[in-house]
Amino acid sequence: MIDDLKDPKEIEIFLTDFFDEAELEKYVKRISIAYWLKKGRDSENIKRNLLATSKEITEAEKSLKKGGVRLALKKIEAEEWANVWSEKIKKFKK
Q: What residues contact 61, with CB distance under 8 A and at least 6 apart?
A: 37
User: Which CATH number does the domain housing residue 79 bear?
Assistant: 1.10.1270
pLDDT at 93: 67
How many domains is the chain built from? 1
- Host domain of residue 9: 2-93
DSSP 3: G
Q: What is the pLDDT of residues 41-58, one digit of tens each?
A: 999 999 999 999 999 999
Of 88 and 47, the one with more pLDDT: 47
- pLDDT bin (cut points 50, 70, 90) of residue 71 is very high
42 phi and psi angles, rounded to 5 deg: -85, 165
Of 40, 11, 30, which Cα lies nearest the Cα of 68?
30
Model confidence, pTM: 0.76
pLDDT for residue 94: 57
